[in-house]
Amino acid sequence: MTMSKTLIRGAKVLGGDVQDVLIDGGTIAEVGTGLSAEGATVIEADGQILLPGLVDLHTHLREPGREDSETVLTGTRAAASGGYTAVFAMANTHPVADTAGVVEQVYRLGKESGYCDVQPIGAVTVGLEGKKLAELGAMHDSAAGVTVFSDDGKCVDDAVIMRRALEYVKAFGGVVAQHAQEPRLTEGAQMNEGVVSAELGLGGWPAVAEESIIARDVLLAEHVGSRVHICHLSTAGSVEIVRWAKSRGIDVTAEVTPHHLLLTDELVRSYNPVYKVNPPLRTEKDVLALREALADGTIDIVATDHAPHPHEDKDCEWAAAAMGMVGLETALSVVQRTMVETGLLDWAGVADRMSFAPARIGRAQGHGRPVSAGEPANLTLVDPAYRGVVDPADFASRSRNTPYEGRELPGRVTHTFLRGRATVVDGKLA
Amino acid sequence: MMRHLISAADLTRDDAVQILDTAEEMARVADRPIKKLPTLRGRTICNLFFEDSTRTRISFEAAEKRLSADVINFAAKGSSVSKGESLKDTAQTLEAMGVDAVVIRHSASGAPYRLATSGWIDAPVINAGDGTHQHPTQALLDAFTMRRRLVGRDAGLGQDLAGKRITLVGDVLHSRVARSNVDLLHTLGAEVTLVAPPTLVPVGVETWPCDVSYDLDGVLPKSDAVMMLRVQRERMNAAFFPTEREYSRRYGLDGERMAKMPEHAIVMHPGPMVRGMEITAEVADSDRCTVVEQVANGVSIRMAVLYLLLGGNDSDSATPARTEESK
């Protein structure tokens, strides 16, 4: 790390007053007006929005095992492009990240990439099979320091295993992030169950399969006094349950993906598997409820569920296609479109939902900190006036499975700083 | 006419009536000593069947041969598909061999739509049944059978099914026949009622242009045609209904129930029938049951569809069955 200085001049910090921010080495040295540019590289922000570096609590980096779709290096480059300075890497790799060895490997690969901090998530159960607890303590005690545990991709559906996991991780301040999907109700599920699935003849994924697990898990968390995090909440009914749980004082947090804030199951009429994702795209009513819940804090954070897949796994018939969408490089634009431009959230709110809160839930050290003197210089500069059409060829991700191809989305990350070092400069990876 | 036939919902009333009228002309060919037209001579049609279906495949093949097309049958079993080849590569291989049209049957809903719209191939695509989505030629042959029986062979020409009351009974949830029929019959002006145990009606059915009833006996006296859908015995293992006998008692059609139908009303079945389950032998073998007619009509309908989709593109092709305005 060079000890160079950078002066970001004239940025609206968290969308508020225009200020200068001086970065010295890895730290924010000063925030104020009319700061001296002496010895510093100057970035004219010109009224762009300065946010704390974004934190993604839900990323699939695919390494080890599926390096054809993403690696830690390509995934963290994609993350930096999207304004992220820290990502939590999901455990459903090959082999599964269910031992100290695998999480340390992912952690080390993240360190080597240098584009974005990588915090591995550990599996709750061995092989994500839902039968036997993985060595959660060993993963926490490893160099990777795992605090978030998830079988994401699969639900921890056994109530006893879930209860024990919730209890066990209390010893080291961990949290279980649940992929809420009742497996029996979703056998053969291909899309949201409703009007569109009835017409298209695709197997239905009913909202109740998510809501029933969330209801069970918030009650379990209350019973054993643990905290629980709900991954990619997707239905209006789930919002109601989480709202109720929070009103009871249950220690539950929840995330929503950008795609569930913007897209609906009407898109599946194209049978284009780029819209195939788990949980599936829901209805307009759900989308509006999710936006409202993110605005009022019922849903705590936006998490991408960035899920890269090789071209051949999407260039096929719907039933044969893989589930998932890439999201790191479009997340902030989708949030600007769905939350900021609708007046539901201001930029300080975006900073909270995409940086402060996810860092707090995942206990990410040095991330999600205020933009003030003495804090680590993890920063993202956004030009909200930018308008561009999404072209997957521009992605840093190794995969191209975006549902936004050809769509105009607002905003662009112009600069990202990871501990003072620019990872993105003028919209391009440094 | 459209370029592909993917869904019965894509057909306008006039499209559908034109296909039915053309099929009547095609049916006359079957009455001739030499059952063959030169219309598609020199054209190659591939029957691309990713799912076993002897009946539909043979029906398409008969239609293609009566129109003098060259026919390639491609069954997924024993082919490169079973070795992991993708739908895209299979389709592109066929196109490279100069196929002029693809008739596709696939277990995945939407596979024909993908084939027609993804840019993988240029040839017209005809859906011969996809998953639990659509089976448009089945709906057309059913409508053709109803029009002949309920309106008349000659009187029906140019006519739709306005005001006819059609009841579909059985496993609607898993049925592409039901979906296609609801769409097409509605387009043709019929009033459709679905009858099934609630477990076999899809969530979301409320937007379909039809009524839903759980009471077969109440609906039968108000039906001009009753179509029984196949119910697979294995469904009871997934708790869709308790036992085969209970299903039969509540939703099966036997002689006693058939007597509740108006005298002119017909019994239909897309086949294959599960005798003793949704239909008794007495009903299946009765004069009111049109199962065998439906099979014969299937060939006429498929000839009409192939003719209308392909016949008009080539000035060399003789068109004895229809004049220019039908294109």
| Residue range A28-45, pLDDT digits in tens | 999 999 999 999 999 999
Across the interface, do B204 and A197 touch by the CB < 8 Å criterion? yes
Report the 10 Å Cβ neighbour count for B301. Answer: 28
Across the interface, do A204 and B203 touch by the CB < 8 Å criterion? yes
Contacts of B114 in chain A (CB under 8 A): 271-272, 316-318
A34 touches chain B (CB under 8 A): no
Gap from A377 CA to chain B (nearest CA, Å): 46
A266 touches chain B (CB under 8 A): no
Gap from B317 CA to chain A (nearest CA, Å): 34
**Do B8-134+294-326 and B136-290 have matching folds?**
yes
Helix (H) or strand (E) holding B106: strand B101-106
A95 cis-preceded (ω within 30 degrees of 0): yes
Lookup result for tokens 């509006």: A288
In sequence order, what are the beta bridge partners of B254? Answer: none
Q: What is the spatial distance between Cα B107 and Cα B24, in angstroms, rounded to a whole number?
A: 31
Lookup result for tokens 């510093």: A40
ipTM: 0.89
Using the predicted structure, report yes or no on whether residue A415 has a pLDDT greater than 60.
Answer: yes
Dihedral sign, Cα of residue A88, residue A92, residue A93, residue A96? positive
Contacts of A270 in chain B (CB under 8 A): 117
Nearest to A318 among B109, B132, B208 (CB): B109
B199 touches chain A (CB under 8 A): no
Nearest residue of chain B to residue A188 (CA atoms): B108
Contacts of B207 in chain A (CB under 8 A): 195, 198-199
A288 touches chain B (CB under 8 A): no
Find, among B100, B96, B93, the residue nearest to B79 by Cα. B93
Q: What is the spatial distance between Cα A253 and Cα A249, in angstroms, rounded to a whole number?
A: 11
φ/ψ of residue A303, rounded to 5: -130, 145
Q: How do residues A384-399 score in pLDDT, each as one tens digit?
A: 999 999 999 999 999 9
Across the interface, do B108 and A318 touch by the CB < 8 Å criterion? yes
Gap from A317 CA to chain B (nearest CA, Å): 5
Nearest residue of chain A to residue B84 (CA atoms): A320
Q: How do residues A224-262 score in pLDDT, each as one tens digit?
A: 999 999 999 999 999 999 999 999 999 999 999 999 999
Gap from B177 CA to chain A (nearest CA, Å): 11
Nearest to A201 among B88, B118, B179 (CB): B179
Residue B78 is predicted with a pLDDT of 56
Q: What is the CA radius of gyration of chain B?
A: 20
Residue-level length of chain B: 327
A270 touches chain B (CB under 8 A): yes
B88 touches chain A (CB under 8 A): yes
Domains delineated in chain A: 5-49+374-429 (2.30.40.10), 54-362 (3.20.20.140)
Nearest to A271 among B110, B132, B208 (CB): B110
Q: What is the spatial distance between Cα A260 and Cα A59, in angstroms, rounded to a whole number?
A: 16
Lookup result for tokens 């000839």: B303
A64 cis-preceded (ω within 30 degrees of 0): yes
Task: Note whether A376 and A307 are within 8 A (CB).
Answer: no
Nearest to B109 among A201, A272, A312 (CB): A201
Mutate which: A190, A271, A274, A316, vs B, most B CBs within 10 A: A271
Residue B237 is predicted with a pLDDT of 78
Gap from B24 CA to chain A (nearest CA, Å): 30
A267 touches chain B (CB under 8 A): no
Gap from A8 CA to chain B (nearest CA, Å): 47
How far does Cα B131 stand from its chain's mean position? 13
- Residues B8-134+294-326, CATH architecture: 3-Layer(aba) Sandwich (3.40)
Q: How do residues A187-197 score in pLDDT, each as one tens digit?
A: 999 999 999 99
Lookup result for tokens 């016949």: B311
Q: A115 CB contacts (<8 Å, ≥6 apart)?
A: A73, A76, A77, A79, A80, A418, A423, A429
Q: What is the spatial distance between Cα B302 and Cα B139, in angstroms, rounded to a whole number?
A: 11
B111 touches chain A (CB under 8 A): yes
Mean pLDDT for the stretch of residues A295-324: 96
Residue B321 is predicted with a pLDDT of 42
Instruction: Delimit the domains of chain B by residue range.
Output: 8-134+294-326, 136-290
* Region of residue A25 (phi > 0: left; psi between -120 and 50: alpha; otherwise: beta): left
Pseudo-torsion of CA B19, B24, B27, B33, nearest 10°?
Answer: -130
Which B-chain residues 142-181 have CB contacts (< 8 A) with chain A?
Answer: 176, 179
φ/ψ of residue A269, rounded to 5: -55, -25
In sequence order, what are the beta bridge partners of B289? Answer: B267
pLDDT < 70 positions in chain B: 1, 77-83, 312-327
Please list, residue by residue across A223-261, b when 16 or more beta carbons sit within 10 angstroms of its beta carbon and e when fewer do. ebebbbbbbbbbbbbbbbbbbebbeeebebbbbbbbbbb
Contacts of B111 in chain A (CB under 8 A): 317-319
Which B-chain residues 203-222 have CB contacts (< 8 A) with chain A?
Answer: 203-208
**What distances in angstroms separate CA B216 from CA A214, B30, B94, B219, one per listed residue?**
39, 37, 46, 5
Q: What is the CATH number of domain B136-290?
A: 3.40.50.1370
Q: A112 CB contacts (<8 Å, ≥6 apart)?
A: A72, A73
Task: Note whether A100 and A114 are within 8 A (CB).
Answer: no
Nearest residue of chain A to residue B176 (CA atoms): A201
Q: What is the spatial distance between Cα A337 and Cα A333, in angstroms, rounded to a whole number?
A: 6
Amino acid at A306: H
- DSSP-based three-state secondary structure for B231: coil
Name the DSSP letter for residue A133: B
The model carries a pTM of 0.93
A196 touches chain B (CB under 8 A): yes
Nearest to A200 among B87, B133, B206 (CB): B133
Using the predicted structure, report yes or no on whether residue A56 has a pLDDT greater than 60.
Answer: yes
What residues of A act catalytically?
305
Q: A399 CB contacts (<8 Å, ≥6 apart)?
A: A69, A70, A308, A309, A310, A311, A326
Across the interface, do A201 and B114 touch by the CB < 8 Å criterion? no
Q: B258 CB contacts (<8 Å, ≥6 apart)?
A: B220, B267, B283, B286, B288
Mean pLDDT for the stretch of residues A204-212: 98
Using the predicted structure, report yes or no on whether residue A151 has a pLDDT greater than 90.
Answer: yes
Find, among A82, A94, A74, A83, the residue nearest to A308 by Cα. A74
Q: What is the spatial distance between Cα B133 and Cα A315, in angstroms, rounded to a whole number?
A: 20
